[in-house]
Amino acid sequence: MNTAGYLRRIGLPHLLNAPVSAENLRALHIAHIEKVSYEALEIWLGRPTTVDPLESAERIIRGRGGYCFHLNGGFSALATALGYDVTRHVGGVQNRGGEPGITANHLVLTVRGLPSDDNPGGEWLVDLGLGDALHEPLPLVAGTYRQGPFEYVLRPSEIAPGGWRFDHDPSGSFQGMDFDPTPTDMSAFVEMHQHLTTSPTSGFVRVAAVQRRDAWGVDSLRGLVLSRIGAGANSVTLSTSRDYYAALADIFLLPLDDVSTEEKDKLWRKVHDAHEAWLAGGSA
C-alpha cells in the first residue's frame, strides 16, 4: 500500500503521520470525493478490474477513479493504513422505481472510535462510492442532514435488522441505500462485480457515466450529456471527441494519461454510437 502516494493523489500529503480524528477523517473524505471521480470507463475500454482494494488504490494513485467497489475499497485500505478503525458492509442501492434490498451492488464503510461535538458516539458512515451523494462523512445517527444542495435522511433500515437506510435527495440519481450491520470482506462483492462489469443489463455497461461531487453540487456525464446539479446548474451535449476529453480532464480531473490515442478513438466511437442509439430510441 503506497500510503504516501495515495495522500499525494488527493492533495493531503501532510496527513501521513497525522493523528486519527473525526476532523482528519472529514478532510480525507472531502479531498477524495473532490479529486477522485466516480467512473466506470474501464468497462468501455475493455479493461477488466477486480474488487481488490490494493489494486483499486494503485489505479487511483495513477490518476483514475472507479465505482463503489473501487472507491470505497481503495479508501478503506488508505484509512486503515492511517490507523482508522474501518469496517466494510454489504449494501444495496435502490434505483428510482426499484425495490430496496441488500443486493451486494454496493460496498459501504463505517468508521468507529472518533467522537466529536456533533457525534458523541463516534461512529461514522463513510461513502466515496455513491456518485452524487455524500460530500463528507455522516454521523451514524438517525436524522436529516444537508450537504450543499442535497438533503439526506439516515434512519434504521426496514429490510436489514440492525442496519441502516440512507435516503437520497429527490434530485439525486438514485432513491436510497440500505446496508447490513455485519462486517464483511471483499469476497462478498466478486459475483456482483462480474455482473456489473459484463452484463448487458448493467447500467455501467449501458451508459458511460462519470460523476464528481463538490461542496456546491455535482457534475455528471452520462454518455455525451454533461449536466450540473446545484450551483451553476446546466446541461449540454458534447458533440466532438475534443469536447468530450476536455470535459473529462477539466471537470472530472481525468486526463486519461494511461489511455493511448488509439484507445481514446475507440472509446469515443463507442460512446458516440451509444448516444446516437439512445437518441434514436427516444425518438421512436
Residue 54 inside a domain? The answer is: no
Residue 163 inside a domain? The answer is: no
Residue 208 inside a domain? The answer is: yes
- 97 falls in which pLDDT band (50, 70, 90)? confident
Burial of 281 (0-12, 13-18, 19+ CB in 10 A): exposed
If you average pLDDT over residues 190-209, what whole number do you get? 96
Q: In this structure, what are the phi and psi dihedrals at residue 279, rounded to the nearest 5 degrees? A: -65, -40
Give the DSSP H/E element, type plus range, for residue 180.
strand 176-183
The residue range of the domain holding 260 is 204-283
Residue 33 inside a domain? The answer is: no
Residue 227 inside a domain? The answer is: yes
The tens digit of pLDDT for each residue in 156-177 reads 999 999 999 999 999 899 999 9
- 274 falls in which pLDDT band (50, 70, 90)? very high
Residue 22 inside a domain? The answer is: no
C-alpha cell at 109: 464503510
The tens digit of pLDDT for each residue in 68-93 reads 999 999 999 999 999 999 999 999 99
pLDDT at 231 (0 to 100)? 83
Q: What is the pTM of this model?
A: 0.94
Please report, as a single letter, which amino acid is at residue 85: D
The tens digit of pLDDT for each residue in 32-65 reads 999 999 999 999 999 999 999 999 999 999 999 9
- 282 falls in which pLDDT band (50, 70, 90)? low
Residue 191 inside a domain? The answer is: no
Percent of the chain with pLDDT over 90: 93
33-59 residues labelled b (16+ CB within 10 A) or e (exposed): bbbbbbbbbbbbbeeebbbbbebbbbb
Residue 57 inside a domain? The answer is: no
Number of domains in the chain: 1
Q: What angle do CA 211, 59, 109 make, to 5 degrees?
A: 65
User: At 83, is the secondary structure helix, strand, or coil?
Assistant: coil
CATH number of the domain that residue 237 is part of: 3.30.2140.10
Please give the C-alpha separations between residue 160 and each of 26, 73, 137, 166, in angstroms, as whole numbers. Answer: 27, 22, 21, 12
- 94 falls in which pLDDT band (50, 70, 90)? very high
